Amino acid sequence: MIEDLFDVTNKTVVVTGGLGQLGSEFAKEFLRRGARVAVFNRTIRQQVIQERFTQEERDSSRLHFYTVDICKKSDLQQAVSKVTLDWGIPDVLVNNASIDTQPSAPPEVSGPFEMFPEEVFREVVEVNLVGTFLCAQAVGAKMAEAGRGSIINIGSIYGMLSPVQDIYTYKEEQTGIPFIKPVAYSASKSGIYNLTRYLATYWAKKGVRVNTLTPSGVYRETQDKEFQKRYCERIPIGRMARPNEYNGAIIFLSSDASKYMTGANLVVDGGWSAW
């Protein structure tokens, strides 16, 4: 019988931001493949759970939901202790939770760099970078004790490369008010890459692998149609990603298929960074 390199059966997986667009897709894919999935989210609303997960998925004993603010160490410690008590030390951590500024954002948080609010910058960095650091501390320490584990930090093309501001010029043409893709998201996501490399080398001899997955933009029906048009004109593949198109990469990074891979950045961006 050929060994399945991509097998994640019975692995305990923590997905932060697990009720979001990508996080819920990751959670469902792990569930379909026989893993035990702990969804961490700042708020747990039944309506959102029903929208994201089928009845069969919601009824599964292998899917648990935890109210966790990843910026609060106490929340993380309590949730990780509960997961460990229920299912054992996590095998996989997907650091997916983050916040961003959409083209529909008000001018006060999407104007020129010179006017960008300090408090907003701090908030975004607190969630996207400090939150990832705290999650890695809480879960990675236990993984290191167990001598195994895979941590996957979700990056962004806008953390790896500067935003293409020309995509957003239509906002000023339409409204007279410019939209500048803010600095905070790019700065916070760029920090993920060296956090990944640091942790990969720090925990390498303890059997914990740490990698980054870099996605590009994901399609949503609620997105501004002009934004979608301009974005798709810029990307070589000619379209935005579908929400489930990063699942293969997540499973790869979580399984023995990538067991010699650590400190790396897996870019799945439809060719965005190939220009």
Has residue 21 been placed in a domain?
A: yes
Domain count, the chain: 1
160 in Cβ contact with 273 (< 8 Å):
yes
Has residue 273 been placed in a domain?
A: no
Helix (H, G, I), strand (E, B) or coil at 154: strand
Has residue 275 been placed in a domain?
A: no
- Domain containing 151: what range? 12-268
Q: What is the value of pTM for the model shown?
A: 0.96
Query: What CATH number should be reported for the domain holding residue 137?
Result: 3.40.50.720
Has residue 184 been placed in a domain?
A: yes
Has residue 260 been placed in a domain?
A: yes
> What does the pLDDT profile of the chain (275 residues) look like in tens digits?
456 999 999 999 999 999 999 999 999 999 999 999 999 999 999 999 999 999 999 999 999 999 999 999 999 999 999 999 999 999 999 999 999 988 777 888 888 999 999 999 999 999 999 999 999 999 999 999 999 999 999 999 999 999 999 999 999 999 998 899 999 999 999 999 999 999 999 999 999 999 999 999 999 999 999 999 999 999 999 999 999 999 999 999 999 999 999 999 999 999 999 98
Reference 53, options 67, 35, 39; nearest CA is 39
Q: Are strands 149-154 and 265-268 parallel, antiparallel or unpaired?
A: unpaired
